[in-house]
């Protein structure tokens, strides 16, 4: 069995169902700017910072924008996003997460959040999960966006865990690539087609145990 001492979770699309709200807010901006944008384009933007996402979206159009415009668009997108999440509660925690976190606590596995979002702490508060994490690293704490491993390496440093003994749970290709770049073990949540670089891909964390994951990771070593 692979030795696992800690787990680091992405937030949007792993812990909570907020990926759909990010998409809705970006979509609204795309319509305003007359930029062609769909779910496939949105998939490529998952996991990266707000400004990097905007740059990716603007590249789909044929105009150039000033830095002031870009700041304004990021602010507008964030206002819409915050409107969409304002009534969020525990019901938007994704399937299996609460039980899996409880299981990790029983097994004395440390857990951290590793999110690109500057709204991560607000979202954790809304769904009542802030105290469930031993440490939190979010978009306010890093300078490099996923696929750079900075966010996960900071998380592992806070948890005092070795990347090779730490599992990163991610729903985005950029996030899995970041974890692989940091020498973490990786579990993709979602579809194989987007998460092919992960050690393991699962649909969700319902019924998951650390011993099962360790066994499955062993066969990938
Ligand atoms: C990531 C999301 O977690 O955070 C992205 O996958 C989002 O979709 C990014 O753009 C930044 O989030 P925020 O809340 O700082 O705009
Ligand atoms: Mg995500």
Full pLDDT tens readout for the chain, 221 residues: 889 999 999 999 999 999 999 999 999 999 999 999 999 999 999 999 999 999 999 999 988 999 999 999 999 999 999 999 999 999 999 999 999 999 999 999 999 999 999 999 999 999 999 999 999 999 999 999 999 999 999 999 999 999 999 999 999 999 999 999 999 999 999 998 889 899 999 999 999 999 999 999 998 87
Distance CA 72, CA 84 (A): 19
Distance CA 147, CA 154 (A): 14
Atom 10, ligand 1: which residue's CA is nearest?
50
What count of other Cβ atoms lies within 10 Å of the Cβ of residue 201?
A: 18
CATH class (in words) of the domain with range 6-16+90-220: alpha beta
Tell me 46's DSSP state: T
Distance CA 189, CA 204 (A): 6
Distance CA 27, CA 144 (A): 25
Q: Which of 149, 151, 132, 131 is nearest to 141 (CA)?
A: 151
Q: Best mutation site among 21, 43, 139 for ligand 1, i.e. most ligand atoms within 8 A of its Cβ?
A: 139
Q: Which of 159, 174, 147 is nearest to 19 (CA)?
A: 174
Question: What CATH architecture applies to the domain 19-85?
Answer: Orthogonal Bundle (1.10)
Does residue 73 contact residue 29 with C-beta atoms inside 8 Å? yes
pTM of the model: 0.97
Q: Best mutation site among 20, 22, 194 for ligand 1, i.e. most ligand atoms within 8 A of its Cβ?
A: 22
Ligand 1 contacts CB of residue 145 (under 6 A):
no
Name the residue ranges covered by the structural domains of the chain: 6-16+90-220, 19-85
């Amino acid at each position: 069995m692979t030795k696992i001492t800690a787990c680091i979770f992405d937030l949007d699309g792993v812990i909570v169902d907020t990926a759909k709200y990010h998409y809705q807010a970006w979509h609204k901006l795309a319509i305003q700017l007359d930029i062609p944008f769909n779910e496939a384009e949105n998939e490529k933007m998952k996991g990266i910072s707000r400004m990097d996402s905007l740059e990716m979206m603007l590249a789909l159009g044929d105009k150039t924008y000033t830095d002031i415009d870009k700041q304004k668009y990021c602010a507008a997108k964030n206002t819409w996003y915050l409107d969409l999440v304002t009534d969020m509660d525990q019901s938007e925690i994704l399937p299996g997460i609460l039980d899996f976190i409880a299981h990790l606590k029983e097994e004395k596995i440390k857990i951290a959040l590793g999110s690109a979002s500057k709204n991560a702490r607000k979202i954790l508060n809304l769904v009542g999960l802030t105290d469930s994490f031993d440490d939190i690293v979010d978009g306010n704490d890093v300078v490099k966006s996923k696929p750079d491993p900075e966010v996960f390496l900071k998380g592992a440093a806070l948890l005092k865990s070795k990347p090779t003994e730490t599992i990163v749970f991610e729903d985005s290709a950029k996030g899995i690539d970041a974890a692989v770049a940091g020498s973490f073990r990786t579990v993709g949540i979602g579809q194989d087609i987007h998460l092919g670089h992960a050690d393991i891909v699962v649909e969700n964390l319902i019924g998951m145990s650390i011993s099962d994951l360790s066994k499955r990771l062993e066969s990938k070593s």
